[in-house]
Structure 1
């Protein structure tokens, strides 16, 4: 009979390390978000985004043709700052 013992804390460390690696990889994949990405990342509707922060002069955005593009890194930084300002 074979008996296997698993160190749960070690499994958790491995899992968290792999998760962090995956998140970093995903962050590097997107240079820009479009409006659908922005809605997905914030879990907010387009109307709410426009009402709450779209017109904030600090919010990074560019219109290219008919499409809005948002630099992913700067947009994340703005959103983290913005959410801290909310009461």
Structure 2
């Protein structure tokens, strides 16, 4: 979801920065467009990082018996071939 939001922010910012030319004394739409494009890039990169981190799962199982404890750790990582 954040990847799409980042792309949308970037596109809207590019439209404001390069395509809209309205005379306005209060707000500079070009600057707002550049700010939105920068925010879109940041949101896109955060989304990609979170997407990569989500593909790793750690599971810890702890079983306690009469006198000893048994701990099992399992790590599952998916490869990039699963993305297709």
Common fold, TM-score beyond 0.5?
no
The TM-score normalised by the length of structure 1 is: 0.34
Structure whose alpha-carbon radius of gyration is higher: 2
* Structure holding more helix per residue: 1
The TM-score normalised by the length of structure 2 is: 0.35
* Structure holding more strand per residue: 2
